[in-house]
Amino acid sequence: MHHPHKPLELTLARSARVLIVAHARARFPEECCGLLVGRLRAGKALVTRAVPAANIALPARRKRHFEIDPALLFTVQRALREHGATRHREVILGYFHSHPGGNARPSGADLAGAHEPGLVTLIAAPPRKAGRVPLRAWLRLGGGPSRRFRPLKITTDF
């Protein structure tokens, strides 16, 4: 997995925002999840696409946990390599997932999770199946006991 170089701000394509919100509502009351694809430029992560994934956590755990299908991760990484993504410098910037009925801050499970430092985590917090869905973005920092999340400013663009 590619390691972004510490973006401070996340710019989210409108289409990616729409997809994440729709996916979070559709999967409610379970957590949704997926990949964030885009570019890094001058301290900004530009998310050009969100790719929805199946939550393959055990059914009894899906309301509070997510696990992205590793086959999707492999497929997207291969597609980025094969389709001239290097030319556009598109990489997997990180993940998105939802906290149904919760808030958009990283949970204890997120903190304990194995997500790699340098990856972006975007959290959608649908209060119910319809209505406004707050989104917040975080950057994973540190490894082992020093791991934490730093908030990223989100702007919606292009």
Shortest CB 84 distance to Zn ion, Å:
33
Cα(17)–Cα(27) distance, rounded to whole angstroms?
16
- Smaller CB distance to Zn ion: residue 17 or 99? 99
- Smaller CB distance to Zn ion: residue 90 or 110? 110
Residue 87 has a CB neighbour count (10 Å cut-off) of: 7
Backbone angles phi, psi at 19, to 5 degrees: -65, -45
Residue in 28, 53, 110, 138 binding Zn ion, rule: CB under 5 A: 110
Length of the chain: 158
CB 98 within 8 A of CB 32: yes
Shortest CB 80 distance to Zn ion, Å:
25
Residue 48 is a binding residue for Zn ion (CB under 5 A): no
Closest residue to Zn ion using C-beta atoms: 110
Shortest CB 104 distance to Zn ion, Å:
9
Write the DSSP assignment of 42-53 as a string of letters: TTEEEEEEEEEE
- Smaller CB distance to Zn ion: residue 30 or 110? 110
- Smaller CB distance to Zn ion: residue 36 or 46? 36
Cα–Cα nearest to 150, from 51, 17, 43, 14: 43
Cα(104)–Cα(98) distance, rounded to whole angstroms?
8
* Site map 88..107 versus Zn ion, x via CB under 5 A: -------------------x
Interacting residues with Zn ion (CB under 5 A): 107, 110
